[in-house]
Amino acid sequence: PPRPPIKPGEDKVVQITDNVGKGMVKSMNESLSMPVMALGEEIDVTNMVALQKAVKASAEKTYGTKVTLTSFMVKAISLALNEHPIINSKFGPNDANPPQYTVFGSHNISIAIDTPYGLVVPNIKDCANLSVVEIQRELMRLAMDAKANKLKLPDIQGGTITLSNIGSIGTKDPRPIPFAGQAVIGCTGRTMTLPRYNEKMELVPRHIMHIRWVADHRHLDGATLARFSNSFKKYMETPGEWTLALR
């Protein structure tokens, strides 16, 4: 029999009028002027997940808060920035002669948060001088304020590098776009249990997470970004390294 008549759906033009949406359009348009490079890495977070579980009860009893993997990642970024401060920077202004860039003195790590009003990216100020528990508390405050649409301008302004943990929603290998005014963004995929070889060449289950770093290629080269990525990987895979780096 002949197919039924086609009933085309009605196209709808949607105007972006909310501040969050307009802000994203503006930021991404500005980012188009940035030539970027990217690299990806596999992170074995088995030991970090074990540490997170081990301190869960103690953190809730002593500090009144749980500690998430995101908070450990934020602190690991800060520790890696101590070793590679040029990553915590921005290029410009574009018309400077000779060209120049600014290395930020504080680690104000922006966190992408999904809300009913759209994606917002507040930042946790001065992460270099915060403990993981203090980072967790600030992360929870920002998330609550973001979902209630109560973020203030100082919460949004001043970010120096961004982490997007979109893997908590889904996706394995994300590919983010840096924000104008920052040189680097990191984006993590979901944590997966996958087989990997141990030292005895035996297959064992491990918690694996992929991360993609995207950087401003005007003043950052691939070797610099790779060394920073290696430092982050070191801190996430070997929590004992923290005892050597923390002040």
Q: What is the pLDDT along the chain (247 residues), one digit of tens a residue?
A: 788 888 888 888 888 887 777 877 877 777 777 889 999 999 999 999 999 999 988 899 999 998 999 999 999 999 999 999 999 999 988 888 999 999 999 999 999 998 888 889 999 999 999 999 999 999 999 999 999 989 999 999 999 999 998 888 878 888 888 888 899 999 999 999 999 999 999 999 999 999 999 999 999 999 999 999 999 999 999 988 887 877 7
Asked if 207 is an active-site residue, the reply is no
Please check whether residue 187 is in contact with residue 166, taking contact to mean a CB–CB distance below 8 angstroms.
yes
Catalytic residue among 44, 126, 145, 217: 217
Bridging pattern class, strands 203-216 and 184-188: antiparallel
Please check whether residue 206 is in contact with residue 196, taking contact to mean a CB–CB distance below 8 angstroms.
yes
Q: What angle do CA 47, 51, 53 make, to 5 degrees?
A: 120
* pTM given for the model: 0.89
Asked if 217 is an active-site residue, the reply is yes
- Kind and range of the H or E element at 200? none
Determine the Cα–Cα distance for residues 181 and 179; give it in Å rounded to an integer: 6
Determine the Cα–Cα distance for residues 77 and 229; give it in Å rounded to an integer: 9
